[in-house]
Structure 1
Amino acid sequence: MIVVFGSINIDLVTQVERLPGAGETVLGPDYAAHPGGKGANQALAARRAGAAVALIGATGRDGFGETALLLLTADGVDLSHVARLDAPTGAAFIAIDRQGANQIIVAAGANAKAEPHALRRMSLSSDDILLLQREVPEEACLEAARLMKQAGGRVILNLAPAGPPSPALLALIDILIVNEHEALVLAQSLGWPEREPDAITQRLDAERGLIGIATLGAAGVVGWQSGVRRRLEAPQVTVVDTVAAGDSFTGAFAAALAAGYGLSGALQRGLAAGSLACTRAGAQPSIPRAAEIAALVGQSFL
């Protein structure tokens, strides 16, 4: 099973001609409200890729709370450990330009009070995977990681949004997933001179004993494990927007590991899922299903 401890948001999305600069207002024609949040997105991505998934997190008791859980409920994610709190449901404010690039502001709301205590009540084992991001408090992520490691399971951290992870959390991680910007922030926080994601993930592997993975957008993905480099090119797709592409990669990657794939096979499936998410608008509505992922893997990597 995959246990995701992370954020649950409502995404308010608008299309703009171009993204605004500092102090600038740019008008959009309308907006849409979609379920989102990195924890919820990755839980849905792993579930749609075929894994059994439980989500631990928090929403408010407001009108957005149920909306934020609609697609997770429909796809069969276990939501019995999601708390309903007297706080606003987390929200993301997303602008997307004509090329599919985006700017995102996230208001934490109930996510700031999310707790991982439900892990203590779950029957965890060495077959389980904990998936973490950085939209809930790091101390809570640290507790969740300790609980999973005590059970013998694996811990994956997606270092998103970008920020320096604590040494204590890094010490509990088995796999670290970053994009290009997050890789640079990580290197700077560790005092490393490397600036290229390839070199940074190689050093994570060599010095920290972590599987280091860097997603490279249209250029694909690179991963390092036990001194071995995996480098895959991204499938060619028509980009509508890039919202949830990283979450789709991470969830599908974790699902492939849970299904018994090795690193290369998991990277293929994560890359296919992330690429497919770029072909549709929105966060959770864009997340692909297992059959689509398998078909694109078959076309692109075999």
Structure 2
Amino acid sequence: MATRPPLVVVGSVSADIYVEVERLPSSGETIAASSGQTLAGGRGANQAACAARLSYPTYFCGQVGPDANAILVKDALASAGVRLDHVKSVEAPTGHAVVMLQPGGKKSVINVGGANVAWPMSENSVCRLTGNIEQLIKRAGGVLLQREIPDAVNLEAANIAKSANVPVIMDAGGADSPIPKELLKCITVLSFNETELGRLTAMSTNSLGEVLLAATKVQEMGVKEVLVEMGKNGSVLVRDKEPPIYQPATLAPVVVDTRGASETFTAAYAVALIELQPPAEALRFAAASASFCVRNEGAMPSMPERSSVLQLLKEYPVVEKYSIPNEEDCCVLKYRRGEGAETERITAPIDVSTREVNTFEEQVSGIQGTRKVMEKLKIGIVGFGNFGQFLAERFCRHGHRVVAFSRSDYNDVAHRMGVSFHRDANGFCDEHPDVVMLCTSILSTESVLRSLPLERLKCDTLFVDVLSVKEFAKQLLLRILPPQVDVLCTHPMFGPKSGRTSWAGLPFVYEKVRIGEGASMDRCTRFLDIFASEGCKMVEMPCKDHDVHAAGSQFITHTVSRILGKLNLETTPMDTRGYETLLKLAENGDADSFDLYYGLFVYNPNAVEELQRLERAFECLKEQLFGQLHQTVGERASLTAKRIPVTH
């Protein structure tokens, strides 16, 4: 396969400090935040991360400072798969922002440009990019720009791209000042929200018709294509001498945080454009991608993987049912010619009756089933401890009904979450859940399962386990459950701590052990869709293979963390980053129960071999150390003997 030309993102990167406050402080006042965290951000970095997570080769060109924030943002970009060969370290501090989140979704932001605005300039405010960046841009499939860096940098990058016939996509957000005319003439696609479009054109953008009129004015400034994002009202693409294309928004089941949605939309559109997808399909891809970003906290952590987006496109392939704008807005000014004007009706994204297969959908032929309406599930959780509550909260967000059973009293917690709670197994089973999810410990699962009055459940209930050992769970469920019951073995490889803000990119391993056809398969798929729609990395794998991999990763991690815990390590005034990592690993060992660790050992047949390998590795290391020591001592003794004068 030929190497794909990369997407080159030239732009900003920052460390964003998010604090949740009840209100903004008054002058001279100090208030306490209910929570706070620092995440990598910046429009440029967010777009680069999004493109990389969508499996497109992406380079980021930007500047950071000589500080800890630089490490934070570079690590985040690298984790997303972004190439950082052209990230330069300068004397100015890494860009950063304080984002104050207030009740009702309000936010106030204080931005410090730092290294983002410290690009080298000549006396006449001209920026010259390095030769390496210039060559990278010339061989790119597209260049993506934003306005959180100086316009001179954007102009230089755009000129280089234009000279090599490389398309330039620019996000108009990030600055209130007018976009230089010479820069506008280099841009292939200019992306706005309706507010930014109104500010640039000094026109009203309160309706689709007004948005289209304002977009034609931008085209008169020299821009070929204008892309306008209108949030829940969808998006529209206005092209030269072509009918505008309207794309309804792909609505998320729940909106938690809108940060990064705009960057996700633009980056996804850029990826699709470079891949030569038709504009209508590129809009669909962008809308689906953006719908994931709003479901979790934080911008970069919430950006979806390509497989999740393609899955969503399979679920909503029919566009005839999309609500098209009203008749008045459907008539738009296509050209401005003196005193008169032509009118053109706005087109829907895709008329599926004219195409047999959607190009994006061809990439995911292995995904089964197409559902126009996602029916909600009734999910029963057995074991309503920390992990059960963690999953229940997310299931409720998606609109599924959750019922829970536990012998401990979690009634107050369940009531706050909107979960129906039972301490009696009969009452729980009489709820007739579609799915029964076993969130019990490894050691107690068999006894809990045998205690359930299975005859009270629907005969074709789907049983799901979440144990860390899979072959044991698989055989246990097959042995105890009736043959007509469906069985899905899963291992969400995250928990309340690692998945607190987002599940994006976190592995979810599963095997469809025994799933019937038709409605049973559809129900299983809908259940798995909960995790896929959250951006999880969905890994379908036989239980035996899972246990082999888990013994070499999960069991070893638990073992090493417990060994470190036995050492009672403490912080010192001179801790290195490596030592800090060891301290965190030791803390993780203390956080998990010994029963979990013991279960990983007893019920994974590969664990004993891994423990023996660990012992052999330790003995080998000791032999190497003491062997070198004995050799050194021997050499020194011999040297000392030669220096001692011999007396007669």
Equivalent in the alignment of 1:218: 232
Q: Aligned residue for 2:54?
A: 49
Aligned residue identity for 1:86? E
Whole-angstrom distance in 1 between the partners of 2:8 and 2:273: 13
Q: In the alignment, is the contact (CA less than 8 A) between 1:245 and 1:277 conserved in 2?
A: yes
Contact 2:144 2:169 in 1 (8 A): yes
Tell me which residue corresponds to 1:158: 171
Q: After the TM superposition, which parts of structure 1 deviate over 4 Å for at least 4 consecutive aligned residues?
A: 20-27
Among the aligned pairs, what percent are the same residue? 29
Which residue of 236, 240, 243 corresponds with 1:228? Answer: 243
2:10 counterpart of 1:5: yes
Equivalent of residue 145 in structure 1, options 158, 172, 176: 158
1:111 pairs with one of 112, 116, 120: 116
The whole-number CA distance in structure 1 between the counterparts of 2:263 and 2:97 is: 15
The Cα shift of 1:254 comes to 0.8
- 1:66 maps to a residue whose letter is I
Equivalent in the alignment of 2:146 = 133
Q: Which runs of 5+ in 2 are unaligned?
A: 1-5, 121-128, 319-648
The match for 1:90 is 95
Cα 1:265–1:114 change in 2 (3 A) is farther
- Report how far residue 21 of structure 1 moved: 9.7
> Residues 22, 289 of structure 1: CA spacing in aligned structure 2 closer, same or farther, 3 A cutoff?
farther
Q: Quick check: which has more Rg, 1 or 2?
A: 2
- 1 CA distance for matches of 2:236 and 2:49? 24
Shift of residue 119 of structure 1?
2.3
Structure 1 residue aligned with 2:286: 270
SS in 2 for 1:61: coil
**What residue is the counterpart of 2:300 in the other structure?**
284
Shift of 1:31: 0.9
Tell me the secondary structure at the aligned position of residue 208 of structure 1.
coil
| Whole-angstrom distance in 2 between the partners of 1:11 and 1:198 | 34
Instruction: Name the CA distance, whole Å, in 2 between partners of 1:206 and 1:264.
Output: 23
The alpha carbon displacement at 1:17 in A equals 4.3
Partner of 1:179: 193
CA contact (8 A) 1:51 1:258 kept: no
Secondary structure at the residue paired with 2:138?
coil
Output the CA distance in 2 between the equivalents of 1:17 and 1:68: 28
- Output the CA distance in 2 between the equivalents of 1:270 and 1:182: 19
Aligned partners of 2:272 and 2:133: how far apart in 1? 22
Q: What secondary structure is seen at the aligned counterpart in 2 of 1:228?
A: coil
Q: TM-score, normalised by structure 1?
A: 0.91
SS state at 1:222 partner? strand
Shift of 1:24: 10
Aligned 8 A contact 2:273 2:282 in 1: yes
- Whose RCO is larger (CA < 8 A, sep 6+)? 1
Q: Does 1:242 align with 2:258?
A: yes
Q: Which has the higher strand share?
A: 1
Residues 123 and 3 of structure 1, relative CA distance in 2, 3 Å threshold: closer
Deviation string, structure 1 residues 65-124 (Cα, Å, up to 9, x no partner): 010111211232110100011111100221234443433332101111236434224272
Structure 1 residues 14 and 300: CA distance shift in structure 2, 3 A:
farther
Q: Which amino acid aligns with 1:273?
A: S
Q: In the TM superposition, what whole-angstrom CA distance separates every residue of 1:140-189 from its partner, at most 9, and x where no partner exists?
A: 1100101111111010110011431000100110100001211111112x
- Listed one character per residue, the Cα deviations across residues 243-267 of structure 1 (whole Å, up to 9, x for unaligned) are 1111111111111112221211111
CA distance in 2, matches of 1:160, 1:24: 32
Q: Among 204, 218, 230, which residue is 1:204 paired with?
A: 218
- Counterparts of 2:228 and 2:61, CA distance in 1: 26
1:255 and 2:271 equivalent? yes
Q: Give the whole-Å Cα distance in 2 for the aligned partners of 1:22 and 1:234.
A: 38
Distance 1:27 1:210 in 2: 49
Letter paired with 1:200: A
TM-score (norm 2): 0.44
Would the aligned equivalents of 1:93 and 1:104 in 2 still touch at CA under 8 Å?
yes
SS in 2 for 1:120: helix
How far apart are residue 200 of structure 1 and its match? 1.5
One-letter code aligned to 1:143: E
Q: Sort the Cα spacing of 1:21 and 1:298 in 2 relative to 1 into closer, same or farther, 3 A.
A: farther
| Amino acid in structure 2 at the alignment position of 1:165 | I
Q: For 2:117 and 2:277, how far apart are their aligned partners in 1? A: 34
- Tell me which of 309, 318, 325 is aligned to 1:293: 309
Unpaired stretches in structure 1, ≥5 consecutive residues: none
Query: Do 1:47 and 1:255's aligned partners in 2 also have CA atoms closer than 8 Å?
Result: no
Whether the 8 Å contact between 1:99 and 1:241 is mirrored in structure 2 is no
Shift of 1:287: 1.1
Name the counterpart of 2:362. none
Shift in alpha-carbon separation, 1:109–1:267, aligned structure 2, 3 A: same
Shift of 1:301: 4.2
User: Which secondary structure does the structure 1 equivalent of 2:34 belong to?
Assistant: coil
**How far 1:203 sits from its partner (Å)?**
3.2
Tell me the equivalent position of 2:604.
none
